Structure 1
Amino acid sequence: MASQKQHTQPGKEHVMDPTPQFTSPDYQPSNKLQGKIAVITGGDSGIGRAVCNLFALEGATVAFTYVKGHEDKDAKDTLEMINRAKTQDAMAPKAIAADLGFDENCKKVVEEVVNAYGRIDILVNNAAEQYENITIEEIDDPRLERVFRTNIFSYFFMTRHALKHMKEGSSIINTTSINAYKGHPTLVDYTATKGAIVAFTRALSMQILSRGIRVNGVAPGPIWTPLIPASFGEEKIAQFGSDVPMKRTGQPIEVAPSYVFLACNECSSYISGQVLHPNGGTIVNG
């Protein structure tokens, strides 16, 4: 992995070298999500972009969120990608700028999607940010609140507004992390939010299963996304992914099929409250 460092968050995919792989010629779509309306938060880059691409290839109409002013180029690129990938009967995709850490913004996102498409069938809560801190004393109140607002508050906000427009057979998928299961010494606040997402997924699943709505999660391991060069120093970036059994960094396209599987009722109708682990072979329990 080439050494590189970005000095602002969110990270930008279009300046990364090598560019994360969001698609693969080996992936063969089969209309798994035909006619579905999907919302992906943080969909402009990284895992979110790969999910947008596969959802579009599988027949879904896709809307995604991004951070205005920071991710405009990535969002534009992703929107063009979805337009190329989408099936003939899918509606035009939407890119929606929003700071999802605040309830009123999440409400506006849901309203914009519903006004355009009428409903929501799949909600992917994926937006996240992280900052490296050597000691817990370095994490001040504003930083702690910011990380929790983006990484877990937004999941609550988006879900409670989206549920009004979701019916039986719908699916909610939350992005957590391998760090929720094994910890991370320099990402304590980020890791805490990812643990909260696991618990949120399990509890929400139990609460709304009677409505016929499934809730699951995906816990990626070390994946090459803009979050990495925006979070770590050059030495850690260069070594990123070398400590997993596969001895390499994963690509977003290696994670995105997990979301397709969990979104598709024909594939995962008997699965709820669970987390999938595309993490390079690390064994996790719990």
Structure 2
Amino acid sequence: MESRPTAEEMPALTLPYPARQSDMTPAPDTDLSQYRPAGKLTGKAALITGGDSGIGRAVAIAYALEGADVAILYNENDEDARTTRDLVEERGRRCLLLKRDVRDPSACRSAVAETVAAFGGLNILVNNAAYQKAQKDFADITEDQFRRTLETNLFGYFHMAQAALPHLSEGDTIINTGSIVGLVGNELLVDYCASKGGIHAFTKALALNLAPKGIRVNCVAPGPVWTPNIPATMPVEEVEQFGHEVALARPGQPEELAPAYVFLASDGDSSFITGHILEVTGGKLSSG
């Protein structure tokens, strides 16, 4: 089994926002070198927001390994996006790069339209784009920050789901990225927690709404995962002990999350699962 950095081994790393994955030390594990694909998504087309780095990159690679073509929607980091495209194409699948802001409904519609035009359809939407900014003092959260967090993390998911829906059919899926902090809270991320709690409720309600169409809607709720957002948005004292609070005493790596997204995208594995919040947290429990 591959060794992972423990919380005690995490560096005191600070990076400017938006951080590049290539600047992170240690680098997040996103290559799925130990993953064993089984053709679970052969012939499928997927669109992943926030797919340029971190969890989104790992999911893109996993989907490619399973036989899907992948469109990547990203907002700023061209270098990371190109790297993800290369990694998908190295695995024999097509990859479309879409530089868009999910806060803009028209940008979401055009991203879906380009994906459908390129791949001939859309089967899997992964809402994964996120914004966060830690604030120790609640009074320091400005209205602009609160608005940006919710417009990216919650409105963006709404815009993408509405844009994708006309192209989704029975057996297709929407997978949202929530967070354990949307279930238990975090004193440094009040607005982010609110947005992620909203995503969990959105997932459950949308699952009920789309069930008659045979479209499943689920959510992955990660615990602490080593992604570019962490050294770019968290206080350095939190970064250097990142993951200490979970039972496994370390942060998760993006490639450890990706199989959950494959599971929820695969009709052969999860055809009777909808409205579910799948916690992948290393033992940071939401209850009990």
The residue type paired with residue 76 of structure 1 is: R
Q: Using the alignment, how far apart are the partners of 1:282 and 1:98 within structure 2? A: 33
Report the alpha carbon displacement of residue 170 of structure 1 after superposing the two structures with TM: 0.1
Q: 1:32 and 2:34 equivalent? A: no
Show the counterpart of 1:96.
98
Report the alpha carbon displacement of residue 261 of structure 1 after superposing the two structures with TM: 0.1
Show the counterpart of 1:74.
80
Show the counterpart of 2:72.
64
Q: Using the alignment, how far apart are the partners of 2:113 and 2:33 within structure 1? A: 35
* TM-score, with structure 2 as normaliser: 0.95
The residue type paired with residue 284 of structure 1 is: S
1:201 is paired with a residue whose SS is helix
2:32 is paired with a residue whose SS is coil
Q: Confirm or deny: 8 A CA contact 2:182 2:194 kept in the other structure.
A: yes
1:65 is paired with a residue whose SS is strand
Q: Which shows bigger deviation, 108-117 or 37-46?
A: 108-117
2:63 is paired with a residue whose SS is helix
Report the alpha carbon displacement of residue 80 of structure 1 after superposing the two structures with TM: 0.3
Show the counterpart of 1:133.
135
The residue type paired with residue 183 of structure 1 is: G
Show the counterpart of 1:169.
171
What RMSD over aligned residues (CA atoms) do the two structures have, in Å? 1.1
Q: Structure 2 regions of 5+ residues with no counterpart?
A: 1-9
Show the counterpart of 1:154.
156
1:230 is paired with a residue whose SS is helix
Aligned with residue 202 of structure 1, among 201, 204, 210: 204
Report the alpha carbon displacement of residue 72 of structure 1 after superposing the two structures with TM: 0.7
Q: Confirm or deny: 8 A CA contact 2:32 2:62 kept in the other structure.
A: no
CA-to-partner distance for each residue in 1:201-244, whole Å, 9 max, x for gaps? 00000000000000000000000000101111222111000111
Q: 1:23 and 2:31 equivalent? A: yes
Q: Using the alignment, how far apart are the partners of 2:220 and 2:180 within structure 1? A: 9
Show the counterpart of 2:53.
45
Q: Confirm or deny: 8 A CA contact 2:176 2:203 kept in the other structure.
A: yes
Q: Using the alignment, how far apart are the partners of 2:254 and 2:40 within structure 1? A: 19
CA-to-partner distance for each residue in 1:182-216, whole Å, 9 max, x for gaps? 10001000000000000000000000000000000
The residue type paired with residue 114 of structure 2 is: E
Report the alpha carbon displacement of residue 151 of structure 1 after superposing the two structures with TM: 0.5
Report the alpha carbon displacement of residue 24 of structure 1 after superposing the two structures with TM: 3.0
Show the counterpart of 1:6.
15
CA-to-partner distance for each residue in 1:141-197, whole Å, 9 max, x for gaps? 111111111101010000001000011100100000000111000100000000000
Report the alpha carbon displacement of residue 114 of structure 1 after superposing the two structures with TM: 1.3
Q: Using the alignment, how far apart are the partners of 2:236 and 2:158 within structure 1? A: 34
Q: 1:184 and 2:193 equivalent? A: no
Show the counterpart of 1:225.
227
Q: 1:110 and 2:112 equivalent? A: yes
Q: Using the alignment, how far apart are the partners of 1:114 and 1:202 within structure 2? A: 26
Q: Confirm or deny: 8 A CA contact 2:134 2:235 kept in the other structure.
A: no
Q: Using the alignment, how far apart are the partners of 1:230 and 1:184 within structure 2? A: 17
Show the counterpart of 2:213.
211
The residue type paired with residue 121 of structure 1 is: N
Q: Using the alignment, how far apart are the partners of 2:260 and 2:31 within structure 1? A: 14
Q: Confirm or deny: 8 A CA contact 2:32 2:58 kept in the other structure.
A: no
Q: Using the alignment, how far apart are the partners of 1:151 and 1:12 within structure 2? A: 20
2:72 is paired with a residue whose SS is strand
Report the alpha carbon displacement of residue 136 of structure 1 after superposing the two structures with TM: 2.0
Report the alpha carbon displacement of residue 119 of structure 1 after superposing the two structures with TM: 1.5
Q: Using the alignment, how far apart are the partners of 2:234 and 2:172 within structure 1? A: 37
Report the alpha carbon displacement of residue 66 of structure 1 after superposing the two structures with TM: 1.0
Aligned with residue 63 of structure 2, among 55, 71, 77: 55
1:239 is paired with a residue whose SS is coil
Q: Structure 1 regions of 5+ residues with no counterpart?
A: none
* TM-score, with structure 1 as normaliser: 0.95
The residue type paired with residue 162 of structure 2 is: R
